[in-house]
Structure 1
Amino acid sequence: MDALIFPGVGAFDEACKQLAARNLDKILTEEVIGRKKPILGICLGMQLFASSSEENGLHQGLNWIPGKVVKIVTSSHLPVPHVGWNDITIQKTDPLFNKNSNHVNFYFDHSFHFECEPAFVSSWCEYGIRLTASVQKENVFGVQFHPEKSHISGLKLFRSFLTSV
């Protein structure tokens, strides 16, 4: 296996409990951090890469990319959860977005977002506030949106990731 795809739908705390109960947190850390195996986290899968999350209390994440997952709070009329299509602004083309153009649409469905250092943000979207749409650090890549629900743009993202590994 050359790479991992880490999908996720659900709650941060329960996902962490399930990973720990199955010893997958340690196995994944050995593969991804120790052996440098590329990984693509999707939605909750990406959020689990963070140091911590405030969803349903304060919980520790895998801590692969320093940052925290916090509730989306906007001062506008926009509803939370953030559900639907949104343009992203690409900060780093390689490797995830080298087959997509800037301001491409992806499908989002989330109430919490990953706050991290700008150096780790590879794209963002505007939803009353600037939200991290994707992150990358060395061999660790994550997207907040759902490429599997994003038609051609999502297929291009998967192809870019898989081609890079």
Structure 2
Amino acid sequence: MKKRIVIIDYGLGNLRSVLRGLEWAGAAATITADPEVIASADGIVLPGVGAFREGMEMLGSLEHTVLAAASETPLLGICLGMQMLMDRSEEHGIHRGLGLVPGDVKRFVPAAGEKVPHMGWNTIRIERETPLFDGLHEEEYVYFVHSYYAATAPDYTLASTTYTHPFASAVKNGLTYGVQFHPEKSGAVGLAILGNFIDLIC
């Protein structure tokens, strides 16, 4: 039986591309804002494109559903969705996140020859063994679009990327995973990561 993955629809995110990626990887994926459907899923994806404060505000009452489900259901945050997993963000003021992964979201400080946002293909360097990266090389190219990054401890960092300085480009705490890049836009590597997320679901 196919794993039942829900993509949370809170009004922000590249939902259709994520849906197609999960379906290609073998999941029975659904886009929903229904708390009961989210609570009964085998796995949850929290996508997102845009500003942190808006993301948390748009998530609204679904925050409680996500927090309750994350204690026993694998969850994958993508791009803004990964940032929302953190404790807080400094984007346009200080704003509280979901607190599922310890750390803060900070803005890139532009370096010589580098612009913000960080946009385009860049490498992830795998820092810790994880089923999420099964079959991948130590370094792989994936696609990024972001102006803010997650600052977290090595204990929660699955992969790092360098742009102006090293930052966590994939994180994990318990059953909660996050990737700063867009796997649905990252070709075969991204699809492999989505497939691995499906496979790690019991």
TM over 0.5: same fold?
yes
Task: Please state if 1:162 is matched with 2:202.
Answer: no
Q: Distance in 2 between matches of 1:71 and 1:116?
A: 14
Q: Structure 1 residue 128: deviation in Å?
A: 2.2
Q: Is the 8 A contact 1:86 1:125 kept in 2?
A: yes
Q: Is the 8 A contact 1:4 1:39 kept in 2?
A: yes
Query: Which one of 42, 63, 68 corresponds to residue 30 of structure 1?
Result: 68
Name the structure 2 match of 1:3. 43
Name the structure 2 match of 1:40. 76
What is the TM-score with the length of structure 2 in the denominator?
0.78
Runs of 4+ more than 3 Å apart: none
Name the structure 2 match of 1:132. 168
Q: Distance in 1 between matches of 2:96 and 2:104?
A: 9
Name the structure 1 match of 2:132. 96
Q: Structure 1 residue 74: deviation in Å?
A: 3.8
Q: Structure 1 residue 99: deviation in Å?
A: 2.1
Per-residue Cα deviation, 1:56-110 (whole angstroms, up to 9, x for no partner): 1110000111100000114332110000000110012312111211110000000
Amino acid paired to 1:81: P
* 3-state SS of paired residue (1:66): coil
Q: Distance in 1 between matches of 2:99 and 2:174?
A: 14
- Structure 2 gaps of 5+ residues are 1-40
Q: Distance in 2 between matches of 1:119 and 1:37?
A: 21
Q: Distance in 2 between matches of 1:74 and 1:124?
A: 18
Identity %: 37
Q: Structure 1 residue 125: deviation in Å?
A: 0.7
What is the TM-score with the length of structure 1 in the denominator?
0.95
* 3-state SS of paired residue (1:27): helix
* 3-state SS of paired residue (1:79): coil
Higher relative contact order (CA 8 A, sep 6+): 1
- Structure 1 gaps of 5+ residues are none
Q: Is the 8 A contact 1:99 1:157 kept in 2?
A: no
Task: Please state if 1:151 is matched with 2:151.
Answer: no
Q: Structure 1 residue 6: deviation in Å?
A: 0.9
Q: Is the 8 A contact 1:74 1:129 kept in 2?
A: no
Q: Is the 8 A contact 2:89 2:97 kept in 1?
A: yes
